[in-house]
Structures are given as C-alpha cells and as structure tokens.
C-alpha cells in the first residue's frame, strides 16, 4: 500500500452493486490467467447506468472502449457500495482497471472483506457524502498515513475514517500474504 495515492476521481452513487461493477456475463474470464485477467479491468463498471455517474451529462465511461485500464484511479461512492452478490471479482475488476482506492460512506460487508482479503483495494469510509461534492475528473490525493483526502481541483480536504485493523492486511497484499508474514502459515 502506498502512503500517497494520487489520481482522478470517478464518482458513483448509492447502492452500486457487484453486478454493476462487473456484470455476470464477463465472469467467464479466468482471473488466474494473466492473458484473461486483464478483461476484468476492461469491463469494470460496465453495468453502471449512465445516470449514476458524477457529472451532469452522466455518460463518462469508466474504461474507454477497447482499453484495459481506466484513466480514473480513485472511485468515490455513496452508501452501501458493493452490495448484491458476494462476487469476489468485483474488487478485482476495479483493481485491474487501475484503481488503488475506493472511498464510500459505507460498504456491503462482503465487498469490504473481498477488498481486504485479496489486497485489491484500499476501502476507505468517509463520514461525508463525498459523491455530492466531488466530480468525476477531479484530481485527488489520498494521504493514507493521515487518513486524509485532498481534492486538488476544488481545494478542499476531507477526513477519512481510519482503516484500523485491516491496514496491515491490505499493506501485506491480502490475508494470505499477511498470514505468511505473521508466521500463521
């Protein structure tokens, strides 16, 4: 895990579910095969309806057609991010697209655990409704050590809830890597 994460924001709404994050029709790819794993990034957020996106026109794609990576590396969501099925592929897809951190008001428990267990994403929670004051394309800086989000575009700062006990697991690269480092396995 990096101490400082910089990138453009991609803003979503409340109740973004795992089928919006990676639609079931794309689950035929094998995440263990590097030549296929990249397709999870290509199709990340493919199921999000246009009206859910943060800009007034609501039609900015997360990943441009025929590309595997997104220009957006920080996702801002609202309440209940990652709800729906227990699809482990959801945080993987976002990470494969190049995202390092997701910031939401709160997460569906299984999505949060999948982020941490796989070491895919840093799942920050915010006491503020950042989705209402951040716009897709804003330049953001996340200071992981200080639990602070700076919106460079809007010149604002926002306190994030500390990661707590999951920080060392994320930093290790997931629960299995953490267990190895801790001598548990």
User: What are the φ/ψ torsions at residue 102 (nearest 5 degrees)?
Assistant: -120, 135
Q: What pairing do the DSSP bridges indicate for beta strands 139-143 and 148-151?
A: antiparallel
Q: Are 12 and 76 in contact (CB under 8 A)?
A: yes
What is the pLDDT at residue 53? 61
Q: How many domains does the chain have?
A: 1
Per-residue pLDDT of the chain (185 residues; tens, 9 = 90+): 679 999 999 999 999 999 999 999 999 999 999 999 999 999 999 998 766 665 445 678 999 999 999 999 999 999 999 999 888 899 999 999 999 999 999 999 999 999 999 999 999 999 999 999 999 999 999 999 999 999 999 999 999 999 999 999 999 999 999 999 999 98
Count, in order, helices (H) and strands (E) of the chain. Answer: 6, 7
Q: What's CA 107's distance to the chain center, in Å?
A: 11
d(CA 45, CA 48): 5
Taking phi over 0 as left and psi of -120 to 50 as alpha, with beta for the rest, 84 belongs to left
What is the pLDDT at residue 2? 77
Domain that residue 140 falls in: 4-181
Q: What pairing do the DSSP bridges indicate for beta strands 139-143 and 4-11?
A: antiparallel
What is the pLDDT at residue 137? 94
What is the pLDDT at residue 107? 98
What is the pLDDT at residue 100? 96
Q: Are 165 and 88 in contact (CB under 8 A)?
A: no
d(CA 177, CA 147): 23
CATH code, domain with 40? 3.20.19.10
What is the pLDDT at residue 60? 86
pTM of the shown model: 0.94
The Cα diameter of the chain in Å comes to 51
What is the enclosing helix (H) or strand (E) of 11?
Answer: strand 4-11
Taking phi over 0 as left and psi of -120 to 50 as alpha, with beta for the rest, 45 belongs to left
Q: Torsion angle, CA of 180/106/75/137, rounded to 10 degrees?
A: -150
């Amino acid at each position: 895990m990096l101490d400082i994460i910089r990138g453009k924001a991609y803003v979503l709404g409340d109740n973004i579910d795992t089928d919006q994050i990676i639609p079931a029709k794309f689950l035929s790819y094998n995440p263990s095969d590097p030549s296929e794993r990249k397709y999870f990034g290509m199709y990340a957020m493919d199921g999000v309806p246009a009206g859910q996106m943060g800009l007034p026109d609501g039609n900015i794609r997360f990943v441009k057609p025929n590309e595997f990576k997104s220009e957006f590396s920080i996702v801002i969501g609202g309440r209940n991010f990652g709800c729906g099925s227990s699809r482990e592929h959801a945080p993987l897809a976002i990470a494969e697209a190049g995202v390092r951190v997701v910031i939401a008001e709160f997460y569906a428990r299984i999505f949060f655990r999948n982020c941490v267990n796989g070491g895919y994403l840093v799942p920050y929670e915010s006491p503020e409704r950042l989705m209402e004051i951040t716009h897709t394309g804003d330049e953001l800086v996340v200071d992981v050590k200080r639990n602070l989000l700076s919106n460079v575009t809007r010149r604002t700062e926002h306190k994030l809830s500390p990661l707590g006990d999951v920080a060392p697991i994320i930093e290790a690269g997931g629960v299995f890597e953490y267990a190895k480092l801790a001598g548990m396995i």
